[in-house]
Chain A
Amino acid sequence: MTVEDLKELAEQEQERQRQFTHRIFYCSAAGCASCGSSGVRNALLKALKEKGIEKEVSAVGTGCMGLCGEGPLVRIAPDGTMYQHVDEAVAQKIVDRHILNGEKVSENLVDTSSPFFSSQFKIVLENCGSIDSENINEYIAAEGYASLAKVVTEMAPGEVIDEIRKSGLRGRGGAGYPTGLKWGIVRKAASEQKYVVCNADEGDPGAFMDRSVLEGDPHRVLEGMAIAGYSVGANQGYIYVRAEYPLAIERLRLAIKHAEKQGLLGNRIFESGFNFRIDLRIGAGAFVCGEETALIRSIEGKRGRPRPRPPYPAERGLWGSPTLINNVETFANIAPIIRRGSAWFAGIGTPKSAGTKVFALAGKIRNTGLIEVPMGIPLRRIIFDIGGGTPEGTEFKAAQTGGPSGGCIPTEHLDLPVDYESLTTVGSFMGSGGLIVMDSTSKMVEVAKYFMDFCVDESCGKCIPCRVGTVQLYNLLDKISRGEGTVDDLALLQELGTMVKETSLCGLGQGAPNPIFSTLRFFRQEYESLLRPVEGFVASPNAQKTTTNA
């Protein structure tokens, strides 16, 4: 394939799409699939056939459309009308009324001018819900692989890295490490063999951002990885994806096969000297295997346990070779940056946190689902404008970000801009993008206990502070939540938490006490109200002052 071939393919596909009077997109991602989207698909196809319009109207399965709580979702092009709670009967109505008579099915209409849609800004999810993720031509028609073509035929590896560096892109896997900087380190590492690894382990409870990208637009990730491979000098990539994501795995397999067939992966890409292959590695779903050094060992076929860093994977990674590891969403940002330029990307978000972030909204919120917002957007807008606030009759209490290493953000910090640094100042963490909303019925000690229970289960057991410390932290929380804890237990909880945070080997243990610290910081009275008074002891009225500094 040459650059001209790619252009021609894109034009052919655009022409094919123009032949249709309407294109009906039905969400076939995991959320809608779980509430009956395959029935919708059959009903649509049947109705189109019955009316004899299957040549003029196409029905296309897509990735996530965002409003997962109201699925199955259907969207009609070119007018952009969107329908919710679509079942087989509604599908029939859509064909009868909307397609044939140009009259909207008002009962199931989604208000696409609502803030849920208008406040979002889509880069990573730009194709999600509007292309057939199993058809490479649709990705190509949406300018897909044009960035790879440009990079391979017009840019030197160093130039690509400069461009990524100037864009200000930071890793979306949690820690926010500058992506361009990481690429530069791997590029500089002297080695014949280098690897590119995509971290698709996504193990935070309630998170499904990466899954949605892989299901809805897998080629975008492949293209990002190939550009990375060209830039750092790697000829082999691996995607490490958890076995719990069968649909994502299936679509990735298909995408790799199609890309290889078109010569977009494999040898002599765009007739250059650049070769790049991508293979899948399926993980068994251990949260710790998302940690980069454990992930590497797991790909090597060993037990997924972390090791101390340095050396970082950029110096010594897979089988000892320099290895670039980035998150799915990080790779998904690469092609748009090359296509539209680093200045465009750097202009979105905040100076230190450029671009957008995808969040999975869950918990006590009206619009649960997948959203993408510019960095720096106030938390209040995410929760109340986009999320629609908490359900009738309940009151917002806190938002949890950062998963099991994250923290809770209370009402008084609702105007906090959502970016890497701001979240850290209130003791939380960007994490990979899970956002769980809690209302007044949530008990914060229970929240802390829930996350600690998760860490106890997921600890790999290699280092003592995490292996034993998380269990003892859980025991202390449990004792307090049962009303049996004392002031001493609360002090011990903090002392042990500090020790586990400062001494654990990897991010799992280091982050495990954060939910405790964060709930103690903002909801300390909930802990204190549960403490059992020590018999014969009367607290001095001034004692409060000495114990409230979390």
Chain B
Amino acid sequence: MAILTLTIDGEQVSGKDDESILEIARQHGIHIPTLCYIDGLAAVGSCRLCLVEIEGSPKLAPACTTKPQEGMVVRTATERLQRHRRMIVELLASEGNHQCAVCVVNNHCELQNLAYDVGLTYVRFPYLFPKKTLDASHKDFIIDRNRCVLCTRCLRVCYEVEGAHVWDVAGRGINCEIISGLNQPWGDSDTCTSCGKCVLVCPTGALIEKGEAVAEMEKKTDFLRFIVTARKKKEWINMDSDEE
């Protein structure tokens, strides 16, 4: 492991060579919008929101999966990047059924926050509303695929942390869907431990607890960092002190 120096948005920062540009930026209070990334799970670089410009490279690079290099010059908020990010969220808004007013995570939704963050005020594309199913067969939880943004956080937390691998992606392209088991009702899954981790990491109202009313549910993702640090470093971080 080595310490490197790089420049992010004109600021000289240092970071370790096994960290991502995103992690280094965050440590220095530089905000980069993200969706598929979540602290504690493997980064997959799929939502493309965290793309940054790297001097000397013609291609944009996802901050969440890109490792730093000595002397690297990174820009995270150019006009072009902001335009692209707004359009990515605009595409998401046109893809699923995101009617916030009737959603249990209204006001606590990462997608909603992203829309504010990138300044999305209207959608220029036709709404696709592909017909997706809702599965309420689990005793405690519901998955409403119409609100899913296919970030695969549920899949990863279940596979990487809980070790159950209940979730996977079926289909291709616009027909992709999160499925439980081999496309069985969630309630019939004999691998699901009902731990609820997937529900907590889901950024939208796609995975929810039963019995919550509109705008009632708030999700917490800090537990992930707690578990992962405990397992990797045998350290018990104090979660309370982290809360603002």
Q: Are B91 and A465 in contact (CB under 8 A)?
A: yes
- Give the segment of B11-19, B167-175, B204-212 that binds chain A: B167-175
- Tell me, yes or no, whether B45 is within 8 Å of chain A by CB: yes
Q: In the bound complex, what is the Cα–Cα distance between A465 and B85 (angstroms)?
A: 10
Q: Are A475 and B126 in contact (CB under 8 A)?
A: yes
- Tell me, yes or no, whether A502 is within 8 Å of chain B by CB: yes
Question: Residues of B contacting A496 with CB < 8 Å?
Answer: 87
Interfacial residues of chain A within 459-488, with CB under 8 A of chain B in the complex:
459-465, 467-472, 475
Question: Residues of B contacting A504 with CB < 8 Å?
Answer: 48
- Tell me, yes or no, whether B44 is within 8 Å of chain A by CB: yes
CB nearest neighbor in A for B177: A461
Distance between A487 CB and nearest chain B CB, rounded to angstroms = 14
Q: Are B46 and A459 in contact (CB under 8 A)?
A: no
Interface string of B114-140 (1 = CB under 8 A from A): 000000000011101000000000000
Residue of B46, B126, B149 most packed against chain A (CB within 10 A): B46
CB nearest neighbor in B for A472: B125
CB nearest neighbor in A for B170: A303
- Please classify the interface of chain A as helix (H, G, I), strand (E, B), loop, or mixed, using the class held by over half of its residues: helix
Residue of A465, A472, A495 most packed against chain B (CB within 10 A): A472
Distance between B104 CB and nearest chain A CB, rounded to angstroms = 23
- Please classify the interface of chain B as helix (H, G, I), strand (E, B), loop, or mixed, using the class held by over half of its residues: loop
Question: Residues of B contacting A472 with CB < 8 Å?
Answer: 91, 94, 125-126
CB nearest neighbor in A for B44: A307
- Tell me, yes or no, whether A52 is within 8 Å of chain B by CB: no
Q: Are A459 and B87 in contact (CB under 8 A)?
A: no
Q: Are B172 and A459 in contact (CB under 8 A)?
A: yes
Question: Residues of A contacting B168 with CB < 8 Å?
Answer: 303
Q: In the bound complex, what is the Cα–Cα distance between A502 and B78 (angstroms)?
A: 14
CB nearest neighbor in B for A462: B46
- Tell me, yes or no, whether B83 is within 8 Å of chain A by CB: yes
Q: Are B84 and A467 in contact (CB under 8 A)?
A: no
Interfacial residues of chain B within 180-237, with CB under 8 A of chain A in the complex:
none
Q: Are B169 and A303 in contact (CB under 8 A)?
A: yes
- Tell me, yes or no, whether A457 is within 8 Å of chain B by CB: yes
Interface string of A292-308 (1 = CB under 8 A from B): 00000000000100011
Q: In the bound complex, what is the Cα–Cα distance between A459 and B176 (angstroms)?
A: 10
Distance between B146 CB and nearest chain A CB, rounded to angstroms = 14
Question: Residues of A contacting B150 with CB < 8 Å?
Answer: 461, 464, 467
Q: In the bound complex, what is the Cα–Cα distance between A224 and B5 (angstroms)?
A: 44
- Tell me, yes or no, whether B109 is within 8 Å of chain A by CB: no
Q: Are A467 and B173 in contact (CB under 8 A)?
A: yes
Distance between B77 CB and nearest chain A CB, rounded to angstroms = 15
Residue of B91, B92, B149, B173 most packed against chain A (CB within 10 A): B173
- Tell me, yes or no, whether B25 is within 8 Å of chain A by CB: no
Q: In the bound complex, what is the Cα–Cα distance between A492 and B87 (angstroms)?
A: 11
Q: In the bound complex, what is the Cα–Cα distance between A467 and B174 (angstroms)?
A: 5
Question: Residues of B contacting A461 with CB < 8 Å?
Answer: 150, 169, 171-176
Q: Are B92 and A468 in contact (CB under 8 A)?
A: yes
Which of B60, B67, B92 is A464 in contact with, Cβ under 8 Å? B92
Question: Residues of B contacting A459 with CB < 8 Å?
Answer: 172-174
Residue of A461, A470, A475, A496 most packed against chain B (CB within 10 A): A461
Question: Residues of A contacting B171 with CB < 8 Å?
Answer: 461
- Tell me, yes or no, whether B33 is within 8 Å of chain A by CB: no
Distance between B74 CB and nearest chain A CB, rounded to angstroms = 15
Q: Are B48 and A503 in contact (CB under 8 A)?
A: yes
A-B contact count (CB 8 A): 90
Q: Are A499 and B65 in contact (CB under 8 A)?
A: no
Question: Residues of A contacting B124 with CB < 8 Å?
Answer: 492
Q: Are A468 and B62 in contact (CB under 8 A)?
A: no
Distance between B174 CB and nearest chain A CB, rounded to angstroms = 5
Q: Are B84 and A502 in contact (CB under 8 A)?
A: yes
- Tell me, yes or no, whether B100 is within 8 Å of chain A by CB: no
Distance between B138 CB and nearest chain A CB, rounded to angstroms = 24
Q: In the bound complex, what is the Cα–Cα distance between A303 and B168 (angstroms)?
A: 10
Question: Residues of A contacting B65 with CB < 8 Å?
Answer: 308
Which of A286, A310, A471, A495 is B87 in contact with, Cβ under 8 Å? A495
- Tell me, yes or no, whether B166 is within 8 Å of chain A by CB: no
Distance between B118 CB and nearest chain A CB, rounded to angstroms = 13
- Tell me, yes or no, whether A456 is within 8 Å of chain B by CB: yes
- Tell me, yes or no, whether A505 is within 8 Å of chain B by CB: yes
* With A308-B65, A503-B48: A460-B84 Cβ-Cβ less than 8 Å: no
- Tell me, yes or no, whether A439 is within 8 Å of chain B by CB: no
Interface string of B62-74 (1 = CB under 8 A from A): 1001110000000
Interfacial residues of chain B within 24-44, with CB under 8 A of chain A in the complex:
44
Q: Are B45 and A307 in contact (CB under 8 A)?
A: yes
Interface string of A348-383 (1 = CB under 8 A from B): 000000000000000000000000000000000000
Distance between B158 CB and nearest chain A CB, rounded to angstroms = 16
- Tell me, yes or no, whether A421 is within 8 Å of chain B by CB: no
Question: Residues of A contacting B157 with CB < 8 Å?
Answer: none
CB nearest neighbor in A for B83: A499
Distance between A505 CB and nearest chain B CB, rounded to angstroms = 6
Question: Residues of A contacting B95 with CB < 8 Å?
Answer: 464, 467-468
- Tell me, yes or no, whether B88 is within 8 Å of chain A by CB: yes
CB nearest neighbor in A for B62: A308
Question: Residues of B contacting A308 with CB < 8 Å?
Answer: 44-45, 62, 65-66
Distance between A314 CB and nearest chain B CB, rounded to angstroms = 16
* With A472-B91, A499-B84: A464-B173 Cβ-Cβ less than 8 Å: no
Q: In the bound complex, what is the Cα–Cα distance between A71 and B65 (angstroms)?
A: 51
Q: Are A463 and B174 in contact (CB under 8 A)?
A: no
Q: Are B88 and A464 in contact (CB under 8 A)?
A: yes
- Tell me, yes or no, whether B51 is within 8 Å of chain A by CB: yes
- Tell me, yes or no, whether A458 is within 8 Å of chain B by CB: yes
Q: In the bound complex, what is the Cα–Cα distance between A307 and B150 (angstroms)?
A: 15
Q: Are A505 and B45 in contact (CB under 8 A)?
A: yes
Question: Residues of A contacting B6 with CB < 8 Å?
Answer: none
Q: In the bound complex, what is the Cα–Cα distance between A400 and B98 (angstroms)?
A: 40
Q: Are A503 and B46 in contact (CB under 8 A)?
A: no
Q: Are B46 and A463 in contact (CB under 8 A)?
A: yes
Q: Are B60 and A460 in contact (CB under 8 A)?
A: no
CB nearest neighbor in B for A455: B173
Q: In the bound complex, what is the Cα–Cα distance between A456 and B51 (angstroms)?
A: 23
Q: Are B172 and A460 in contact (CB under 8 A)?
A: yes
Residue of B88, B128, B169 most packed against chain A (CB within 10 A): B88
Interface contacts beyond A308-B62, A467-B173, A503-B88: sample of 4 additional A-B pairs, CB < 8 Å, sorted by A: A456-B174, A464-B150, A465-B48, A475-B125
Instruction: Return 8 A-B CB contacts under 8 Å, by A number.
Output: A458-B173, A463-B45, A464-B149, A468-B92, A472-B94, A472-B126, A502-B59, A503-B84
Interface residues of A (CB under 8 A from B): 286, 303, 307-308, 310, 456-465, 467-472, 475, 492, 495-496, 499, 502-505
